[in-house]
Structure 1
Amino acid sequence: MNNILLLVLALFNAMFSVSQEPEVNTPPNVIIIFTDDQGYQDIGCFGSPDIKTPHLDKMAQEGIKLTDFYAAQAVCSASRAGLLTGCYPNRIGIHGAFMPNSRHGLNTSETTIAEMLKAIGYKTGVFGKWHLGDNQMFMPNNQGFDEYFGIPYSNDMWPFHPQQGPIFDFDPLPLFENETIIDTLTNQSSLTTQITERSVDFIKKNKDHPFFLYIAHPQPHVPLFVSDKFKGKSERGLYGDVIMEIDWSVGQILAALKENNLDEDTIVIFTSDNGPWLNYGDHAGCAYPLREGKGTALEGGQREPCIIRYPKRIKPNRVINVPMMAIDILPTIAELTGAKLPDNKIDGKNIWDIWTGGSTISAHEAYYFYYHVNELHGIRYGKWKMYYPHKYRTLNGRKGGTNGLPVEYEYNTMEQIELYDLSKDISETKDVASENPEVIAKIKLLGDKMRLELGDSLKNQKGVGTRPVGKVEN
């Protein structure tokens, strides 16, 4: 009997001899992988029938898949500004896509994710496409990034554009390393590989420091380029080859984290800047089952595939249907790292509880979809998406172009308010505005409130809270 008591006491002491001090959550490394013009369906786990993406599919199994995640706007520069600052792009004066030699860019008075994290000791790097102003004052090294390798704007802004001459007069496309042009590109086939190799080197070099790595792939924006190792590999043609190489790149990043014992302590976020450029046809992505694509506030223009992996703190293999937007990433990273939020007002909110399953309620009462400089086109409110009357571009059922040559868009006009129940009608095929006047009334009140703050040029209503875009004075 005494022996049994002694054994029980020994087991009891063994169970409680471990220190009861609370676990210390060290700040994670942060990696954002941001593609260009990728469609909602262009990943295996989001339903692609003809593009193999084993690394992204595994990443979703080991993390979370966000089905209702939105880009900040449906076009390049504005979307990137929203991601990096946590603001609606029109709050910070950015719309559309900056052209080369623009006198405007992301105002250096704004705080980027890189600046926020650098202030608490993070190493920061961006590899790929910048597109927030190519004047030196707006470039990455002046926006919080220690290292930069890539192109300053979209990869089609070069002399080989199909409309060079009649419409455009682009200079050679420069390749930057920090503030120095190291090459001008005439072929982009090795760019995805170079960006990946630079990113892996950055991880290895900074394995003993917390880091923020922003991988902004220029692909699959046209013109499409892929290395020989993936050429002809996809059932989807060249576009599928490009996505397969991006998937390979994701695999290289995740492997580098494991090799350097950083896997558990790194949050990796994969998404895209806007939907597919549909008039490029067989060189464009697929937003199915969503309506329309890039350049519209409709679902296909801004709802994007999003996958997040953080083994230490995010439980795996979950699908989350709560609406979220790229503007929410900055404040969520601030929560995870203990960084101070920007002094300027931002629009994003901390959505960490949603990622971890602690909440299934959106952090926002509504999300606002602006386009065409400062036109409020749509509002997402719970399961509802309401659109104000506006013009939008479309192919009206026509096929897009072939072999990298686009067809012209047509323009349709919504003549009156339209309302869709996205929980039943993700493709936005049935306008239910007439059946839900109380929902329309509620959303219109929210829209009126936002118009007072950010304006709406459709209503000739100037916002009082919009901050100025950066401008070269001389």
Structure 2
Amino acid sequence: MVIHCHLALFGTLLMYSGLTSGDEPPNVLLIIADDLGIGDVGCFGNDTIRTPNLDRLATEGAKLTHHLAAASICTPSRAALMTGRYPIRIGMAPKNIFRVNFFLSSASGLPPNEITIGEIAKEKGYRTGLIDRRSGKQGFDYFYGLPLTNLRDFGDECENVIRAKLPFIDNLLLAVLLGGVMFVYFLKKAQMVGRFGAITLLSLFASPVILVYAIMYGMPYWNGAVMRNLDVVEQPIDLTRFTEMMVAEGKRFIRTRSESDQPFLLVMSLVQVHTALHAADPFKGKSRHGSYGDEVEEMDWSIGQLLDELDTLGLAKNTFVYFTSDNGGHVEEKGIHGDRQGGWNGIYRGGKGQGGMDGGIRVPTLIRWPGVVKAGSVIDVPTSHLDVLPTVAGVIEGKPPTDRVIDGVDILPLLKAGHHYLPSPPHHFLVHYCCDDIHSARYTPGNGSDVYKVHFATPKWDVGTEGCGLFCDCYGNAITQHDPPLMFNIARDPSERSPISPKTETYRVMLQEIEKLLKQHRRSLVPVDSEFNRLKLVPRPWLQPCCNFPTCSCRDSKRSGLK
């Protein structure tokens, strides 16, 4: 382990061990929202969006106010949550502008030699399920969902994710095509090429244009495949009532616990609130925040359905429930009509994709385990997605892998104490990457009151905003390098408005400690192949899932069973 807990933490763990000895093994339910801002949830301060079920979790369990995503964007963040390891260690910290996997048929993914939560649970005899919008079956018995992601292309407003990122794409493609036609025309006019040569050259100019348009307008077919285990059951995805389908699949999986002696680990990875927004009819137009607010409220309803199922089956008291978001709200996200379709990150600056900005990595997190996690407790010490694997391993009395660096720690002692006043914080030091570059780091001295954060680089926001068009990049002219680094005491200044002067003794001492720990972190890194290598990201036709070839069109028969 990179982080060594104080011996007293071990003593606390021993003191609490045996709480469930002799009882049935606890079940585990992990719920991961997509792009949900910490300011979107009632118990985290929102009084205009209704989230009664999440608020209920906060009342019955612990609210983690300083829980951090291991990356500010979904793919590396989720990989870190599943493995307990920084994305840089597992090939999930890209070296270029491509920070997510765009194609279902690419070769990019979590390396098969990485150990996931599912594999640890299976070793303890658990039935494991993944109701997901990204991932493979690495350690999971059952899978249902979107193997890639929910894209705005899947919605009903003719939106396109490529055009949103590159609004000039149509003009560029038209210029390429017209330029090619003119070029060939003049060559033909000058009798420098014959008919066959002219046709060949025109094909060369037209082919990339046709390919780009095929990718743009084929997204619902290339990427919108819903799978149950290894079978494509719906293509392209119909988002109508898809949330209900995911809830039905989750409840069906939970019911297997009451029908067998096998405990379960279920990861419910929700499609909300990533665009395309697709709230079902009972939720449309019901919130005060347009289609985005409708989505949050439907997401909360879906969580309530799962919690009610646990209650109905008498499993609530023996189920460890964890809720989080994969990263912060996407503050730049807008619909084709200019309406805001991204989340609110409360008092925290920046948002999704912005390296070390807390708006992109401080995520709403709740944990409930009746009789073990203190009800109504608030944990404000830094914790991380990295802690999920070792903590779940502690819950089920499993063992995290010992043949590799695990960056997370078991935070059960912290949850049982119900506050952060332990002999040592779970994390003295955490780093925050943007792609494969460290943009910031935070240091907790352990005095129970201070957390220092430094920024080595920050995004160049558009004037008057805390965003960068559609998305902030990590390198070059897109960022501002800080020398000396910016420093804040975020325990006292969480909005990072008042930097500590580099002339102060506090600045000097804290920066010295952070730089020492940063060197230790870098020395612990072992080079690995990047999963975001351009060659791995290129779609491979032979890997493309397709039902009813060649139409690649089908509908999930189980939809008819929805009530």
- 2:412 alignment counterpart: 352
- 1:18 alignment counterpart: none
Greater helix content: 2
- 1:109 alignment counterpart: 113
What is the root-mean-square deviation of aligned Cα atoms in Å? 2.4
**Is 1:201 the counterpart of 2:257 in the alignment?**
no
1:393 and 1:225 mapped to 2: Cα distance?
A: 32
Matched ranges for 1:37-48 at <5 A: 37-48=35-46
Residue by residue over 1:260-294, the C-alpha shift from the partner in whole angstroms, topping out at 9 and shown as x without a partner, is 11010001100000011111141000001001001
Distance change (3 Å), C-alpha of 1:22 and 1:183: closer
Matched ranges for 1:81-96 at <5 A: 81-95=79-93, 96=99
Q: Is the 8 A contact 2:438 2:456 kept in 1?
A: no
- Of 264, 285, 298, which residue of structure 2 is paired with 1:245? 298
**Is 1:178 the counterpart of 2:238 in the alignment?**
no
Residue by residue over 1:192-217, the C-alpha shift from the partner in whole angstroms, topping out at 9 and shown as x without a partner, is 11111110111012233210000001
Distance change (3 Å), C-alpha of 1:41 and 1:381: same
Distance change (3 Å), C-alpha of 1:438 and 1:287: same
Unaligned runs of 5+ in 1: 1-20, 133-138, 455-464
2:92 and 2:231 mapped to 1: Cα distance?
A: 26
1:176 and 1:46 mapped to 2: Cα distance?
A: 34
**Is 1:368 the counterpart of 2:431 in the alignment?**
yes
- 1:5 alignment counterpart: none
Distance change (3 Å), C-alpha of 1:409 and 1:295: closer
- Of 441, 444, 447, which residue of structure 2 is paired with 1:379? 441
- Of 295, 298, 319, which residue of structure 2 is paired with 1:266? 319
Matched ranges for 1:39-188 at <5 A: 39-95=37-93, 96-100=99-103, 101-130=105-134, 132=135, 139-140=136-137, 143-156=138-151, 158=153, 160-164=158-162, 166=169, 169=216, 170-171=218-219, 172=221, 173-185=224-236, 187-188=238-239
Q: Is the 8 A contact 2:133 2:269 kept in 1?
A: yes
Letter in 2 for 1:289: I
- 1:398 alignment counterpart: 465
- Of 355, 367, 371, which residue of structure 2 is paired with 1:312? 371
Q: Is the 8 A contact 1:420 1:433 kept in 2?
A: no
Greater strand content: 1
Describe the SS at the equivalent of 1:105. Answer: coil
Instruction: Compare CA radii of gyration and give the structure with the larger one.
Output: 2
Distance change (3 Å), C-alpha of 1:81 and 1:32: same
- 1:135 alignment counterpart: none
* Matched residue count: 430
- 1:331 alignment counterpart: 390
Q: Is the 8 A contact 2:152 2:160 kept in 1?
A: no
2:281 and 2:80 mapped to 1: Cα distance?
A: 34
Letter in 1 for 2:349: R
Distance change (3 Å), C-alpha of 1:110 and 1:452: same
Distance change (3 Å), C-alpha of 1:396 and 1:290: farther
Distance change (3 Å), C-alpha of 1:61 and 1:384: same
Q: Is the 8 A contact 1:395 1:409 kept in 2?
A: no
- 1:11 alignment counterpart: none
Query: Offset of 1:26 from its aligned partner?
Result: 3.9
Letter in 1 for 2:488: Y
Letter in 1 for 2:414: I
Query: TM-score, with normalisation over the residues of structure 2?
Result: 0.72
Query: Offset of 1:314 from its aligned partner?
Result: 1.4
Query: TM-score, with normalisation over the residues of structure 1?
Result: 0.85
Q: Is the 8 A contact 2:68 2:383 kept in 1?
A: yes
Structure possessing the higher relative contact order (Cα contacts under 8 Å, 6 or more residues apart): 2
Q: Is the 8 A contact 2:327 2:360 kept in 1?
A: yes
2:226 and 2:299 mapped to 1: Cα distance?
A: 19
Describe the SS at the equivalent of 1:301. Answer: helix
* Percentage identity across paired residues of the two chains: 32
Query: Offset of 1:22 from its aligned partner?
Result: 9.3
Residue by residue over 1:416-442, the C-alpha shift from the partner in whole angstroms, topping out at 9 and shown as x without a partner, is 201111111111111114132111111
2:517 and 2:426 mapped to 1: Cα distance?
A: 15
**Is 1:422 the counterpart of 2:425 in the alignment?**
no
Query: Offset of 1:469 from its aligned partner?
Result: 5.2
1:37 and 1:449 mapped to 2: Cα distance?
A: 31
Residue by residue over 1:387-406, the C-alpha shift from the partner in whole angstroms, topping out at 9 and shown as x without a partner, is 343252534423889xxxx7
Letter in 1 for 2:498: K
1:184 and 1:310 mapped to 2: Cα distance?
A: 38
Worse-superposed segment, 180-189 or 113-122: 180-189
Distance change (3 Å), C-alpha of 1:441 and 1:162: same
Distance change (3 Å), C-alpha of 1:408 and 1:60: closer
